[in-house]
């Protein structure tokens, strides 16, 4: 078990709200959770077992008092795990021995002075471990990604991309060295986090560990989404935006969603599974609470746009959003596979359905507008009607989204009394039903222009 190794500063610099968490009030003995076990028969004299438990308390007291956050300025500003691997292992062992002694004495006499002393020392130890957990997680948040605990082969595609971007062999070696260093630091940090989490959970302080972990990891997800340009919008804000401003926000969303699904959200279940492996219930609860708010906000954005009136200028960007969610859907189902995360999948699916309906309504309005305007003012002198030119440009652009259109038309077929003449939509691949549906639809639009 490796417990140290990162080179970050030892100075404790908690984020907003953290001091209250790390300086929580004392826990009474009555609220402490002990594993159930048979109660041994009472004894009026010291037994070897009792002597050993008293020794555990005495041995634990010296190292726990040494690293008491209130004992000195040095220990308050220094990380135990960075200070000494040997001493960190000794501290964790002393905490486990102390817990064993508490378990022993609570079965004999719940009001024992020895139990009160042990409980006091346990609270001091847990506050130190909370701080160590926070220090490691906050200092290594940029390194703790899915590849920290995955096989080396998982990064194959990104290595290929790096080779294309790096201009020389020397630069390529520097990139490889940086990746290796990041993975090494990440592995050391994961080991330290797991050691602390296992100790806290086994001693009955799993909720404290989970609360601290949740706050920090949630802040990482939110910060990551913020850096990707994801903001929180209300429907009224979307409706007031100019198209130029809205298009910029949509572009940010299109760039962000793949990174969020494949990196930000994917990293959380892997990290939860590794660090909090001692508690299955805690793992699932942790993963649910960390990304839920950010994920729902991300997937809700397209749905907010669809609450406005259908607009031809928006249709291309909305088809791109539809395509992104459709392509990522298998990964969304995999990442949010817990039953408790069903709300996230429901939001993504709802946005997909609303995008499809919006695009379908826009296409219907476009066809109706052509029919209405073409009959009003025929082109003078037999020339090309201005509407024909703009409509053909629009139809030509729609053809570039044939894959998305075929899916939407399959789900929302446009009513037709009869198909257009076959020369208008001859399909080079008759077996491709979806392509045929798009060809028929575009042929109808062209026929309306004639």
The model's confidence at residue 174, banded by pLDDT at 50, 70 and 90, is: very low
Domain definitions of the chain by residue range: 1-204, 224-373, 377-449
- pLDDT greater than 50 at residue 272: yes
Mean pLDDT on 179-194? 69
Mean pLDDT for all residues in the chain: 74
Task: Give the integer Cα–Cα distance in Å for 13 and 135.
Answer: 8
- pLDDT greater than 90 at residue 214: no
- Note the pLDDT tens digit of each residue in 419-430: 555 554 455 454
- pLDDT greater than 60 at residue 25: no
CB atoms within 10 A of CB 303: 19
Mean pLDDT on 377-381? 60
Q: What percent of the chain has pLDDT over 90?
A: 29
**DSSP secondary-structure letter at 191?**
H
Q: Is 401 helix (H, G, I), strand (E, B) or coil?
A: coil
In terms of average pLDDT, the best of 295-304, 331-340, 389-398 is 295-304
Task: Give the integer Cα–Cα distance in Å for 205 and 122.
Answer: 10
Task: Give the integer Cα–Cα distance in Å for 299 and 262.
Answer: 14
Q: Tokens 């408790």 — which residue?
A: 340
Higher pLDDT, 174 or 197: 197
Backbone angles phi, psi at 359, to 5 degrees: -65, -40
**DSSP secondary-structure letter at 290?**
T
- pLDDT greater than 80 at residue 414: no
The model's confidence at residue 33, banded by pLDDT at 50, 70 and 90, is: very low
Of 142-156, 185-199, 216-230, the poorest mean pLDDT is in 142-156
The pLDDT, as a whole number, for residue 328 is: 96
**DSSP secondary-structure letter at 42?**
P
Task: Give the integer Cα–Cα distance in Å for 410 and 407.
Answer: 5
The model's confidence at residue 322, banded by pLDDT at 50, 70 and 90, is: very high
Number of helices (H) and strands (E) in the chain: give both, helices first: 19, 0
């Amino acid at each position: 078990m490796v417990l140290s190794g990162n080179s970050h500063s030892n100075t404790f610099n908690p984020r907003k709200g953290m001091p209250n968490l790390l300086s929580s009030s004392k826990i009474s003995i009555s609220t402490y959770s002990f594993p159930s076990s048979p109660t041994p028969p009472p004894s009026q004299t010291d037994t070897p077992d009792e002597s050993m438990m008293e020794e555990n308390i005495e041995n634990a007291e010296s190292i726990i008092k040494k690293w008491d956050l209130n004992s000195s300025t040095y220990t308050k500003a220094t990380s135990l795990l960075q200070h000494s691997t040997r001493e960190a292992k000794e501290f964790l062992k002393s905490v486990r021995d102390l817990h064993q002694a508490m378990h022993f004495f609570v079965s004999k006499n719940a009001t024992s002075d020895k139990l009160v002393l042990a409980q006091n020392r346990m609270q001091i130890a847990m506050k130190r471990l909370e701080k160590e957990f926070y220090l490691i997680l906050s200092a290594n948040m940029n390194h703790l990604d899915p590849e920290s605990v995955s096989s080396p082969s998982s990064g194959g595609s990104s290595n290929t991309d790096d080779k294309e971007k790096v201009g020389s062999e020397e630069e390529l070696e520097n990139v490889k060295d940086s990746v290796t260093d990041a993975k090494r630091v990440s592995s050391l940090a994961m080991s330290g986090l797991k050691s602390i989490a296992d100790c806290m959970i086994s001693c009955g302080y799993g909720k404290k560990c989970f609360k601290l972990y949740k706050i920090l990891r949630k802040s990482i997800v939110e910060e990551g989404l913020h850096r990707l340009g994801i903001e929180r919008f209300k429907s009224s804000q979307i409706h007031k935006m100019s198209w130029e401003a809205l298009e910029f926000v949509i572009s940010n969303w299109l760039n962000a969603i793949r990174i969020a699904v494949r990196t930000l959200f994917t990293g959380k279940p892997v990290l939860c599974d590794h660090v909090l492996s001692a508690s299955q219930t805690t793992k699932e609860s942790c993963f649910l609470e960390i990304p839920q708010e950010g994920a729902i906000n991300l997937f809700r954005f397209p749905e907010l746009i669809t609450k406005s009136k259908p607009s031809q200028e928006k249709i291309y960007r909305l088809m791109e959003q539809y395509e992104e969610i459709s392509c990522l859907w298998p990964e969304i189902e995999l990442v949010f596979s817990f039953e408790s995360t069903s709300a996230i999948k429901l939001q993504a699916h709802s946005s997909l359905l609303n995008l499809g309906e919006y695009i379908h309504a826009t296409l219907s309005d476009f066809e109706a507008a052509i029919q209405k305007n073409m009959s009003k003012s025929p082109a003078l002198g037999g020339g090309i009607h201005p509407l024909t030119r703009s409509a053909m440009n629009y139809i030509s652009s729609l053809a570039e989204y044939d894959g998305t259109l075929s899916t939407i038309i399959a789900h929302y077929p446009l009513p037709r009394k009869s198909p257009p003449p076959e020369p208008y939509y001859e399909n080079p691949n008759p077996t491709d039903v979806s392509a045929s549906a798009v060809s028929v639809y575009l042929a109808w639009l062209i026929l309306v222009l004639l």
